[in-house]
């Protein structure tokens, strides 16, 4: 669960939004704490004793595993840091997931601003709401509809960074070469800048075993990302792809294998083999750099 530290400007913005806008879901089933509304007989309506609603997913294309854990928190964001009034957990959640976060009315200060925070952790991915939902005070409802959006995983962020870095190779120095022996031909491109070798692209054509293209990317002279594609011949669609990547501390972050359209986890031993090959290729070409 993430804690929210509400800066004064942030709180002021939410207060203005709370006073001037309605709930994003467009509805409420409970009386706001500070509304002061009255019933048909003129008596004050009973104060809400829970925040309720549902949580849905923005995208249905990303599967949610049985290991998913959804956490909802009622938080007073006027306080610094934010003060959690109560939480509710679902493990795993079932979407759309109804929720009911009870609280004591005496715990609510009508002058403060309260929000419902929702986060979900699943298989290395974080899901969260794009906007925080004000509730209870300043005319805000006690029943809300929340939508969770998927954030990129560390592995996805690494691949995005890899693709961006790859597009910058056009501005680097490049050295190319070829070699051949019976039953095999090789070609390579080595891209470098002021920091040294940044990329190596190695292609190996073995008539009886097919064609392999391997892209090695480096940071601080160390293996960063390796992508290896296997195909029956040059320029044919890849039949299998292996991806491995390491952070600045050498921790394996990206380990993925795609075969026949199915994505699975690359084994640690296969990832290590790619790392060792990346080191060997770097040392070989660095001698002539």
Q: Where are the alpha helices (DSSP H) in 21-153?
A: none
| Residue 37, pLDDT score | 40
Q: Is the torsion defined by CA of 13, 15, 17, 20 positive or negative?
A: negative
Rounded Cα distance between 35 and 138, Å, is 7
Does the structure show a pLDDT above 80 at 266? yes
CA atoms within 13 A on the CB side of 177: 8
Give residue-wise pLDDT tens across range 214-250: 999 999 999 999 999 999 988 889 999 999 999 999 9
Binning the chain into helix, strand and coil, the percentages to the nearest 5 are 20, 45, 40
Strands 50-57 and 143-150: parallel
Instruction: Choose the weakest-confidence range: 8-12, 51-55, 104-108, 145-149.
Output: 8-12
For 84, residues 6+ apart whose C-beta sits below 8 A from its C-beta are 3, 73, 74, 75, 76
Rounded Cα distance between 38 and 237, Å, is 69
Residue 85: other Cβ atoms inside 10 A: 18
| Residue 47, pLDDT score | 74
| Residue 46, pLDDT score | 61
Rounded Cα distance between 22 and 108, Å, is 20
Instruction: Choose the weakest-confidence range: 1-10, 62-71, 181-190, 230-239.
Output: 1-10
Does the structure show a pLDDT above 50 at 179? yes
Give residue-wise pLDDT tens across range 1-53: 333 344 444 444 454 444 443 333 333 333 344 433 444 444 444 678 999 99
Average pLDDT of the chain, as a whole number: 86
Rounded Cα distance between 240 and 258, Å, is 5
Does the structure show a pLDDT above 80 at 196? yes
Residue 151: other Cβ atoms inside 10 A: 12
Confirm if 137 and 33 have CB atoms less than 8 A apart. yes
Rounded Cα distance between 228 and 236, Å, is 14
Structure tokens at 75: 């938080």
| Residue 273, pLDDT score | 97
Residue 200: other Cβ atoms inside 10 A: 22
Rounded Cα distance between 215 and 188, Å, is 10
HEC sequence for 117-148: EEEEEECCEEEECCCCEEECCCCCCCEEEEEE
Does the structure show a pLDDT above 70 at 176? yes
Confirm if 114 and 77 have CB atoms less than 8 A apart. yes
């Amino acid at each position: 669960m993430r804690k929210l530290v509400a800066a004064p400007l942030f709180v002021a913005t939410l207060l203005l939004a709370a006073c001037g806008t309605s709930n994003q879901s467009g509805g409420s089933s409970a009386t706001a704490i500070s509304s002061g509304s009255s019933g048909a007989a003129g008596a004050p309506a009973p104060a809400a004793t829970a925040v309720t609603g549902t949580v849905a997913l923005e995208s249905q294309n990303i599967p949610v595993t049985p290991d998913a854990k959804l956490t909802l928190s009622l938080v007073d964001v006027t306080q610094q840091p934010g003060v959690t009034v109560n939480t509710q957990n679902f493990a795993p959640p079932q979407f759309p997931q109804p929720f009911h976060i009870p609280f004591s009315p005496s715990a609510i200060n009508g002058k403060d601003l309260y929000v419902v925070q929702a986060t979900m952790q699943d298989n290395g991915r974080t899901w969260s709401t794009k906007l925080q939902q004000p509730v209870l005070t300043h005319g805000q409802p006690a029943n809300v509809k929340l939508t969770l959006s998927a954030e990129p995983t560390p592995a996805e962020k690494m691949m995005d960074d890899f693709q961006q870095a790859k597009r910058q190779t056009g501005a680097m120095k490049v050295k190319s070469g070829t070699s051949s022996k019976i039953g095999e031909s090789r070609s390579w491109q080595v891209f470098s800048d002021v920091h040294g070798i940044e990329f190596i692209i190695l292609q190996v054509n073995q008539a009886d075993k097919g064609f392999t293209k391997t892209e090695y990317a480096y940071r601080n002279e160390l293996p960063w990302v390796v992508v290896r594609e296997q195909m029956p011949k040059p320029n044919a669609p890849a039949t299998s792809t292996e991806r491995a990547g390491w952070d600045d501390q050498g921790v394996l972050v990206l380990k993925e294998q795609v075969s026949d359209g199915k994505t699975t986890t690359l084994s640690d031993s296969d990832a290590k083999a790619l790392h060792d090959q990346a080191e060997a290729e770097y040392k070989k070409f660095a001698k002539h750099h």
